[in-house]
């Protein structure tokens, strides 16, 4: 099993550009989520999904879109990048659909994004 994979590992964007961060898991997990990590702020939840076709907002959803058409994939879209979105982005998955907070979360290696 590859676990949770994320692409790209690094990305530099200009303000206003759009892009999609890819996340895939091969563990047949129902729950997937996106976090951003900023110094001194820990990890903050952006969006999450409890199963294919179901998504919901986390703490900091503004400026990001998600969709979940398959169990395996959960892409994160930046519609118009801003310098405030410079961060490290982590995708995570866990087995339970409705009890994500009590299952072990499996994290990808992260994407380091810089917006100029």
Partner 1 sequence: AQSVTQPDIHITVSEGASLELRCNYSYGATPYLFWYVQSPGQGLQLLLKYFSGDTLVQGIKGFEAEFKRSQSSFNLRKPSVHWSDAAEYFCAVPNFGNEKLTFGTGTRLTIIP
DSSP the chain: ---EEEE-SEEEE-TT--EEEEEEESS--SEEEEEEEETTTEEEEEEEEEETTEEEE-S--TTEEE--SSSSB--EEESS--GGG-EEEEEEEES-SS-GGGSPPEE---EEEEE-
Between 8 and 98, CB nearer to partner 1: 98
Between 46 and 78, CB nearer to partner 1: 46
Q: Which of 19, 27, 45, 52 binds partner 1 (CB under 8 A)?
A: 45
Residue 23 lies near partner 1 (rule: CB under 8 A): no
Binding-site string for partner 1 from residue 55 to residue 74, where x marks contact by CB under 8 A and - marks none? -x-x----------------
Give every CB contact of residue 16 below 8 A, 6+ residues apart in sequence. Answer: 80, 81
Residue 52 lies near partner 1 (rule: CB under 8 A): no
Q: Which of 48, 60, 68, 71 binds partner 1 (CB under 8 A)?
A: 48
Residue 4 lies near partner 1 (rule: CB under 8 A): yes
Give the residues lining the site for partner 1 (CB under 8 A).
Answer: 4, 33, 35, 40-45, 48, 50, 56, 58, 90, 92, 98-102, 104-105, 107-110
């Amino acid at each position: 099993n590859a676990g949770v994979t994320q692409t790209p590992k690094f990305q530099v964007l200009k303000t206003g550009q759009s892009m999609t961060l890819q996340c895939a898991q091969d563990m047949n997990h129902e729950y997937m989520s996106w976090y951003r990590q900023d110094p001194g702020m820990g990890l903050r939840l952006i969006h999450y999904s409890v199963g294919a076709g179901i998504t919901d907002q986390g703490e900091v959803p503004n400026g990001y879109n998600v969709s979940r058409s398959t169990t395996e994939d959960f892409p994160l879209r930046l519609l118009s990048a801003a310098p405030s979105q410079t961060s490290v982005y982590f995708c995570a998955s866990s087995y339970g659909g409705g009890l994500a907070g009590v299952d072990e979360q499996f994290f990808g290696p992260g994407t380091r994004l810089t917006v100029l």
